[in-house]
Amino acid sequence: MSALFEPITLREVTIPNRVWMSPMCQYSAEPEGPAAGVPHDWHFAHYAARATGGTGLIMVEATAVSPEGRISPYDLGLWNDTQVEAFRRITRFLAAQGAVPGVQLAHGGRKASTDQPWRGGAPVGPEAHGWQPVAPSAVPFDERHPVPTELTVDQIGEIVGQFAAAARRALDAGFEIAEIHGAHGYLVNEFLSPHTNHRTDAYGGSYENRTRFALEVVDAVREVWPEGKPVFFRISATDWLQDGGWTPQDTVRFARDLHAHGVDLLDVSTGGNAPGAMIPTGPGYQVPFAARVKAETPLPVGAVGMITEAEQAEKIIANGEADAVFLGRELLRNPSWARQAARELGGEVRVPDQYHRSV
């Protein structure tokens, strides 16, 4: 059997194969009013297509734990029950196709309140549905972004509570896996990295202090998430900075901490926290970071980053570099990538009865 198409069980959840969909924002929700943050027909069609295409795990895009936690005003959210009901339609369909529904819980931090990417992605103010972003320290992302408001200790505690409340709603909405977004320069990542965390209190300075917020979020989510269901954590394994940033060594150390706090898989990406970082991209360029965590810690890992070919993905799993691969842009280009890869590798995926003529 193809290693890529072997099932994997984490806690009590079995995922039918190792081809997983990366969380990718669609920036397509309504920005204000009763429908703010609510998934609609676009989101249903988007995720349904990948499930019918054989993808084993559908990780829904960064879903904000509060209105101010959205990356853009057009992001999805899980801060009210209207959103929960709309998500149920999606999770029911994904599960009916044999895919496992997961959701990434997120807070945008200093990179919040930006426009849709196809409109330039610049920061937006109240006149364009925007707001004042917050961060661990009053350090802007770049010259275009406003100086964020530095969070107080009480506000940090409130955000931890928002992650827990969003996790409860995610469970009610039918999700089987909750992923905490700790990557790409958003709030959790901002606390982790000395590049963005200049605090001098219990949430800044030492490694233990900088990881405190992330672990408090993990503990809060794990407390409300059922024992039999997995929690993932997405991390940027490096800031790609020569000095003063988060490093691969930090990631290995933190992976051990996450495992001790009940995280079941590390979704390993890189970058996004320092706009001037030089990143040497290429096919599978982030896989070695996942492979190192897998080799040096007990935590299962997912690999991501320019994984496009079936044979490439198969080797990553067969060689023990990762336990699964997350596909992003390739699944945007080809929603049926998993089904085609199974045919190429001699694996099997569930094919809807309506699509059997395509086999």
Q: Which residues are catalytic?
A: 186
What secondary structure does DSSP assign to 221-255, as a single string? HHHHS-TTS-EEEEEES----SSSS--HHHHHHHH
13 pairs with which residues across the strands? 10
Q: Which two tokens stand for residue 41?
A: 């027909």
39 and 85 in contact (C-beta within 8 Å)? no
How far is 2 from 314, CA to CA, in rounded Å?
Answer: 7
Four-CA torsion 336, 340, 352, 13, nearest 10 degrees: -80
Say how far apart CA 184 and CA 234 lie, in whole Å: 9
Interatomic CA distance for residues 328 and 75, integer angstroms: 17
Strands 13-15 and 8-10: what pairing? antiparallel
Q: How many CB atoms lie within 10 A of CB 140?
A: 15
Phi/psi of residue 344, each to 5°? -70, -35
